[in-house]
Amino acid sequence: MAANTAVVDIHTHMYPPSYVALLASRTAIPLVRSFPQAPDPRLILLRAEAEALDDALGDPAAKPPGRPLTSHYTSLDQKIRFMDAHRIRVSVLSLANPWLDFLDAAQSGAVGESVNRDFDDMCARHPGRLFFFGTLPLTAPLDTVHESVKQLTRLKYCRGVILGTSGLGKGLDDPDLLPIFEAVAAAPLPVFLHPHYGLPNDVWGPRAGEYGHVLPLALGFPMETTIAVTRMYLAGVFDKLRDLRMILAHSGGTLPFLAGRIESCILHDGQLVREAKVGRGRRTVWDVLKEQVYLDAVVYSEVGLRAAIDASGADRLMFGTDHPFFPPLTTDQQGGWESVSMNADAVAEAVGEGSAEAKAIMGSNAVRILGLQDRS
């Protein structure tokens, strides 16, 4: 990355120690487990991993499921070392999946308050370098969720909320989410939308196990985001809440590429025409992308980044690393990560290294959009 560019990373995750302890105390997925055959605890999120979990607990020779929960996921000092190694001036931290969606209503409010305070306290240790997106206890009663939104507005370093694509389990077009979106928009706090579990395993076919995690990560996560936002659009959520702002992870999934096809399908759908949902003055998907949506620049290629710029605008893109996911496969993870340089190189190749647009995408857009100044 160019040394003279003030780089801001808006897509970077952490699991606070209290959250890890909660997952470690659980007996059902999602959970954290240690195995004698693995050097690090494992984060196990997917129900599909239940059988492998049982095998690994019963057989020390069996491969444990999940992903290694290294210090990159949990250590603030490690986060700062990573930032320094990649010349990142500011990071906007966020909890990664499964957020608070697995908690029951009686528990999620208190856990959410604790996690958000943990993040604010971490940011206070490095003022001006760290901010965060808070997490909401969606399973709690509506008044508890509203109180959580108010709490986030009072926390010094909070700059938005992170939300998974499943919402309350019924998708983001669920009418029960409208009051929550309304409260977040009024705060005002932007929503950082992040895919949750990918698509169902049977989508990938009988030989999917031969291809590692490529299919669900490369295709499933982006399509999950695309589906969630398209459902919101079709349900009229963006029209009902014109002040709602969303930052879409992974450059909006496939929305920049498929927006035209979505528009064509809407215009040629007899049911929508009969129900008068298609008519003069309708805001298109393109309008929403340019007016209410921001995209991160986690797309790993010049071609993908150009599509994101064309869809939403270079003034609405913000750099991200997705740290600590996609680490080097070597044992030494303290140096440069190829996953980070791929995203930075894509920006330079798409708009020209050192250009005004590159500086905006790499940092100044985020400062402007998210208000990344230390409010002393």
pLDDT category at 2 given cuts 50, 70, 90 is low
Nearest Cα to 255, choosing from 219, 226, 217, 287? 226
Cα–Cα dist 1/264, whole Å: 39
Judged by average pLDDT, the poorest of 87-91, 165-169, 188-192 is 165-169
Per DSSP, 54 falls in state: H
Cis peptide before 188 (omega within 30 of 0): yes
Q: What percent of the chain has pLDDT over 70?
A: 98
Q: What domains can you pick out in the chain, each with its CATH number?
A: 8-27+79-370 (3.20.20.140), 28-73 (no CATH)
Q: Is the pTM for the entire model greater than 0.75?
A: yes
DSSP strand pairing (191-194 vs 67-68): unpaired
Three-class SS state of 251? helix
pLDDT category at 42 given cuts 50, 70, 90 is very high
pLDDT category at 374 given cuts 50, 70, 90 is low
Contact 208, 263 (CB under 8 A): no
For the stretch 229-283, pLDDT in tens is: 999 999 999 999 999 999 999 999 999 999 999 999 999 999 998 888 877 788 9
Token pair belonging to 24:
């470690």
For the stretch 137-188, pLDDT in tens is: 999 999 999 999 999 999 999 999 999 999 988 999 999 999 999 999 999 9
Distance set, CA 296 to CA 10, 72, 159, 219 (Å): 7, 21, 15, 17
Distance set, CA 195 to CA 18, 247, 256 (Å): 23, 12, 16
Contact 322, 12 (CB under 8 A): yes
Cα–Cα dist 175/239, whole Å: 14
Residue with the two structure tokens 């986690």: 298
Nearest Cα to 44, choosing from 61, 59, 56? 56
Enumerate residues 6+ apart whose C-beta is below 8 A from 326: 337, 339
Distance set, CA 51 to CA 32, 47, 89 (Å): 15, 9, 43
